[in-house]
Amino acid sequence: MNEKKDPLDELIVNENMPVDKTLLADVLKGELTITKDGQVSYSDRFSSYKQWKRVMLYLLSRKVMVIKKIGGLTSEKASADELSKNALLPKSSIGRVLAENLRRIVISEKGKYHIPNYNLVRCKAILDGNQKVPTQIKKKKSKE
């Protein structure tokens, strides 16, 4: 039988899709390492990275720790305090980074943040410079 594929099916993402481990490793290789007790060590370049990139890399490292069951993490979701501490950023910057630069990449659930597996391809494209990171569009002041 010839079954026609519904072209709309390509628009639907599966929130429970399995992680592409090869893609995740490729994104993080050279950027960080993780000890067996869950300590993240960033590359020497990390301190020069933009804030959004630091947050993205940390959230992706959490995904690795949960998959590999290291560091005692049971969820890849992180609070703003955890992001601030582990991405080495002031807490006052986290909200802006999440709302402006990482919107539609990072998902918020009950005050905790994570990158869904279906956004890994997008993360790679952004980190490789093949896609722009979102930025907040400033509204022009109306002349009165």
- One DSSP character per residue, 29-79 reads TTTEEE-TT--EEE-TTGGGS-HHHHHHHHHHHHHHHHHTT-TT-S-S-EE
Answer yes or no: is pLDDT of 114 > 80. yes
Q: What is the pTM of this model?
A: 0.84
- Residue carrying the six token digits 């993205």: 56
Domain of 67, in residue numbers: 18-127
- Tell me, what CATH number does 88's domain have? 1.10.10.10
pLDDT tens digits, one per residue of 80-100: 999 999 999 999 999 999 999
Distance (Å, rounded) from C-alpha 99 to C-alpha 105?
10
Residue 24 φ/ψ, nearest 5 degrees? -60, -45
Pick the closest to residue 61 from 42, 89, 48 (CA basis).
42
Say whether pLDDT at 72 is over 60.
Answer: yes
Across the chain, what does the average pLDDT equal?
Answer: 88
Mean per-residue pLDDT, 20-27: 94
- Residue 10 domain flag: no
Residue 72 domain flag = yes
